[in-house]
Amino acid sequence: MTADLLDFDALPVLYSFRRCPYAMRARLALAVSGQPCELREIVLKNKVPEMLAASPKGTVPVLVMPDGAVIDQSLDIMLWALRQHDPERWLAPQHGTFQAMQTLIAGNDGPFKHDLDRYKYPNRYAQEQSSHSADEFSEIHRASGALWLMGLEVMLMQHAWLFGLVASWADMAVLPFVRQFAHTDLAWFEAQAWPQLRGWLTRWEASALFHSVMQKYPPWSSKQAGIVFPATR
């Protein structure tokens, strides 16, 4: 889809940052739903005033509707897009329930994200380290996060995706964070005894959908138009 075929004023505006896992999962849902928007890539160290005016919390993603309504939580953006159009039935898992997906995502966004942050960025949490070195603190949280990932490994022993033979909302909400954990120390991750988990992550990273939402765009400024997203696949 090209910009000359769309009225930008009629599109939602998505403020995003390519590598942020929260923004990534929002883009995944918008892309699969085919919901067009104007994507504005943000530099997190230099946030544009337009985004801060819409959402003072200052984190991505932020979706601003043409009428000015704002959705600034990634899961809410996913649900909004999928309730417009859910062609791959992400909200209707083959096994389990919508509530079961919510519970799994809450575990990802709560305890697992807590461990992920401290594993990846131990120096940000010096006040929590007590008598541990930064490396020891990081390893403690890596081990705790790994326990949660083993739970996913067990689920993936049953079928290719978390809730069946095809991907669901839960997969796409969780995978960006598992990817971040994996790439913190990829050699360590690949040496662990979770072949189903590695295969699940690899399939997703090789997918056309993943590549479509990970295209690089220049930072947006008010002097230029955003990018029409999703691009035609």
Regarding whether 82 and 21 lie in a shared domain, the answer is yes
Which tokens sit at 167? 């991907």
The 10s digit of each residue's pLDDT in 37-95 is: 999 999 999 999 999 999 999 999 999 999 999 999 999 999 999 999 999 999 999 99
Mean pLDDT, rounded, for 18-42: 97
Q: Is the peptide bond between 93 and the residue preceding it cis, with omega within 30 degrees of 0?
A: no
Rounded (5°) CA angle 158-162-166: 95
pLDDT band at 233 (very low <50, low <70, confident <90, very high): very low
pTM for the whole thing? 0.95
Regarding whether 74 and 167 lie in a shared domain, the answer is no
Per-residue model confidence (pLDDT) at position 6: 57
Regarding whether 173 and 86 lie in a shared domain, the answer is no
Mean pLDDT, rounded, for 9-31: 96
CA atoms within 13 A on the CB side of 133: 3
The 10s digit of each residue's pLDDT in 179-213 is: 999 999 999 999 999 999 999 999 999 999 999 99
Regarding whether 25 and 108 lie in a shared domain, the answer is no
The 10s digit of each residue's pLDDT in 124-177 is: 999 999 999 999 999 999 999 999 999 999 999 999 999 999 999 999 999 999
Mean pLDDT, rounded, for 97-125: 98
Regarding whether 134 and 62 lie in a shared domain, the answer is no
Q: What is the domain range of residue 82?
A: 3-90+214-229
Q: Strands 13-16 and 62-64, how do they pair?
A: antiparallel
pLDDT band at 2 (very low <50, low <70, confident <90, very high): very low
Domain count, the chain: 2
Regarding whether 132 and 77 lie in a shared domain, the answer is no
Q: Put residue 37 in one of left, alpha, beta given phi > 0 → left and psi -120 to 50 → alpha.
A: beta
Regarding whether 166 and 78 lie in a shared domain, the answer is no
Regarding whether 12 and 83 lie in a shared domain, the answer is yes
Cα separation of 220 and 170, whole Å?
30
Q: Is the peptide bond between 61 and the residue preceding it cis, with omega within 30 degrees of 0?
A: yes
Regarding whether 109 and 200 lie in a shared domain, the answer is yes
Cα separation of 12 and 173, whole Å?
21
Mean pLDDT, rounded, for 207-232: 91
Cα separation of 203 and 19, whole Å?
19
Taking all residues of the chain, what is their mean pLDDT, rounded to a whole number? 95
pLDDT band at 225 (very low <50, low <70, confident <90, very high): confident
